[in-house]
Amino acid sequence: MTLQATIDLLWHQLGWPLLRLLLFISIGLLVANFIEALNWTRKMALVARPLTRFGHLSATAGAAFSMAFFSGVSANTMLAEAYEQEKIGKRELILANLFNSLPTYFLHLPTTFFITAPLIRGAAFIYIGLTLGAAVVRTLTISLLGRFLLPEQEPAARSGPEEGQEQTLSSAWQRTLVRFRKRIRKIVRYTVPIYILFFLLAQAGLFARLETFMAAHLPFLAWLSPQAISIITLQVAAEFTAGLAAAGALLQDGSMEASQVVLTLLIGNVLSSPVRAIRHQFPYYAGIFRPRLAVQLIAASQSFRTLSIALVAFLYYLGAR
């Protein structure tokens, strides 16, 4: 590889993606700190008030839920700030992060829909409906768990963690910048080396080998047709779009029915998520949260997501028989 080719590779696959990630994290951090400086947490929490009140979740969790419809980075930053300031405990942090499943799903819904609809047509509505149902189940379940695992919020605490009058825009912005400068240094210190490490591991083929290994060792799926196995293999070893393209082709020539395609995509979704979550989520999670906590949050999120999708897939299988 020539020097120019190496430079191009480093810029397109490392430099620019890392800069873009840091930019989004910085914007999310600014937004989250500005909202807190203006004491708007209570107002934003109104959207999720019925669920947070039932689940004994604080206004910070409700505000993060509302923010997650627009920016997952801002929502997680808001939770991380509250945790570090001891406004919420670790148990509530984990539950609040899982609670954001529904808004996070809606954040990615347009992209998912416009990828699936052209390839698998009508089956896309069933697939999206089931994955949406799984996200709803996750959020409602967390609200129920919170009711048993968290102490009931005092009225003052439920209304919001901030005290005092709302700040002026100028003073709030000054406070935001002070906290931003302090926080961004820590984020960069963790995110940059971890992102570079994961880039090097990807270049060494570690993640590709992991995904290929998973795709080649699926004996518990022997009951599926060879066509279904091929779709799942592409989803795990390549990417979601590759599996969709194969599913669309098989659906078009009549080799598979819509119900079979939907069930296969759900199974592939479950199997392909863990490695990609570690590869894509951990570098930015480790910048927002402490690395050990980031691992715990990702593990909890992926486990819960896997269970919910497996549940809707099983129910759909029973209904489609």
pLDDT at 162: 45
Q: Is the dihedral of CA 253, 134, 43, 163 positive or negative?
A: negative
Query: pLDDT per residue over 266-317, tens digit each?
Result: 988 888 777 777 777 888 888 888 889 999 999 999 999 999 999 999 999 8
Q: Is the dihedral of CA 185, 191, 196, 197 positive or negative?
A: positive
Q: Which of 79, 23, 229, 61 is nearest to 142 (CA)?
A: 61
pLDDT at 210: 67
Three-state DSSP state, 303: helix
Lowest mean pLDDT of 17-21, 184-188, 223-227, 245-249, name the range: 223-227
Query: Is it the case that residue 214 has pLDDT exceeding 80?
Result: no
- Express as a percent the part of the chain with pLDDT over 70: 86
Other Cβ atoms less than 10 A from the Cβ of 133: the count is 16
pLDDT at 21: 76
Phi and psi at 66, nearest 5°, equal -65, -40
pLDDT at 158: 47
The CA distance from 84 to 79, in Å, is: 9
What lies within 8 Å, CB to CB, of 171 at 6+ separation is 37
- Express as a percent the part of the chain with pLDDT over 90: 23
Phi and psi at 195, nearest 5°, equal -65, -45
Query: pLDDT per residue over 111-142, tens digit each?
Result: 788 888 888 888 899 999 999 999 999 999 99
Task: Provide the H-helix boundaries in the chain.
Answer: 3-10, 16-37, 41-45, 49-54, 59-68, 72-84, 90-99, 101-120, 122-149, 155-159, 169-203, 206-216, 226-237, 240-252, 258-288, 291-320
195-199 average pLDDT score: 79
57-64 average pLDDT score: 91
pLDDT at 112: 82
What lies within 8 Å, CB to CB, of 180 at 6+ separation is 26, 29, 30, 33
Residue 164 binned pLDDT confidence (cut-offs 50, 70, 90) = very low
148-167 average pLDDT score: 61
What lies within 8 Å, CB to CB, of 283 at 6+ separation is 21, 191, 194, 195, 198
pLDDT at 298: 92
Query: Is it the case that residue 157 has pLDDT exceeding 50?
Result: no
Rounded to two decimals, the pTM is 0.79
Query: pLDDT per residue over 254-263, tens digit each?
Result: 778 888 889 9
More confident call, 171 vs 80 = 80
Residue 213 binned pLDDT confidence (cut-offs 50, 70, 90) = low
Residue 237 binned pLDDT confidence (cut-offs 50, 70, 90) = low
